[in-house]
Amino acid sequence: MAILIVIMFVLLLCGASPARAGVPETLTLPQPAAGWQDAYLAFLDSRYDTFSYLWPEGMSGVGFIDLDLDGTPEMVVFDQGASATLGAQLFDLAGGQVYCVSSVLDAAAGAFDGSHMSAVDVWTSFFESFRLSRTADGWCFWVDSANGTMETAWDEIVRFDCVDGILTPSSVCYRYLEFDPASGLVVAERYTAAGAPTDAAGYAGASSVYMDGQDAGYDAAGVFLWNDLDRYDTSREGLMAMARDAAAAYRPITDYVTLATMQP
């Protein structure tokens, strides 16, 4: 009987182990699409008028991250932000064409080709906020998207996948809180997991898959205009200078992540 109890205890430990059976130790990526830097730079230059119309205050940063792990990086363009954080616009390259797949601005779906636009948007303030992890669901990039005011706050775990060759962000779990401004106490709360209503425990369970995953240690690189105010500003020239420097600064995941290998 004692031996049986020990065996059951070991099995429980194995089930909770971060080793996550079935998830490969090695992350294998294809080669990036030829000319991806030129494609994104040409898109930014040709659509500058659209950017300046949608975001008249200008864009604050440009970076490149292979969020969907298909070998070719996506372009992340930060706006000037809102109350507590910056808004991220995500662009993917497919079939030689650049698509806007996520934006904090609803009007972007009409201003750009919205055929691959996701309903999930991202609020965060750093390129490094996009984390590459090995989780029970496999290797993925994810981000804790959040914003708030004195009266409300929300945060959402967003996972990034490749669906039909396009970067597709999806909501893992979402939490919305309302506060009494006088006392600071929570007066209302709402939770979802995979888009379905849940409670605080359901939210915590869904978020733990990513919060407790094995972080690969990859810090995405990007360039913000305040990194060099003599070189960058909110003009076309400033945006293009940021984008060119960000493209030059990009390094493949395999340059940073020891667990990852590149296909020949």
Q: Which residue has the higher pLDDT, 207 or 2?
A: 207
Residues paired with 193 in a beta bridge: 173, 196
In a domain, 7, yes or no: no
pLDDT, residue 191, reads: 97
What tens digit of pLDDT does each residue of 196-222 get? Answer: 999 999 999 999 999 999 998 899 999
Q: Count other Cβ atoms within 10 Å, centred on residue 186.
A: 11
Flag whether pLDDT at 78 surpasses 80.
yes
- Percent of the chain exceeding pLDDT 70 equals 87
Is there a domain that residue 20 lies in?
no
d(CA 25, CA 91): 29
pLDDT higher than threshold 80 for residue 8: no
The answer to whether residue 12 scores a pLDDT higher than 60 is no
Q: Is residue 184 part of a domain?
A: yes
Number of domains forming the structure of the chain: 1
Q: Return the higher-pLDDT residue of 2 and 233.
A: 233
Neighbours of 195 (CB within 10 A): 13
Instruction: Examine residue 253 and state whether it is found in any structural domain, yes or no.
Output: yes
89 has a pLDDT exceeding 80? yes
* Confidence grade of residue 182 (pLDDT, cut at 50, 70, 90): confident
In a domain, 104, yes or no: yes
| Comparison of pLDDT for 17 and 119, the residue scoring more | 119
How high is the pLDDT of residue 264? Answer: 35
Q: What is the mean pLDDT of residues 233-262?
A: 83
User: How many CA atoms lie within 13 Å of 103's alpha carbon, on the beta-carbon side?
Assistant: 23
Sequence-distant (≥ 6) Cβ neighbours of residue 6 within 8 angstroms:
none
pLDDT tens across 157-180, in order?
A: 999 999 999 999 999 999 999 999
pLDDT digit string, tens, across residues 18-53: 444 566 777 888 899 999 999 999 999 999 999 999
Phi, psi of 199 (to 5 degrees): -115, -175
Residue 18 falls within a domain, yes or no?
no
Q: Which domain holds residue 257?
A: 26-262
60 CB burial (10 A radius; 0-12, 13-18, 19+): buried
In a domain, 169, yes or no: yes
CA distance 38 to 244: 9
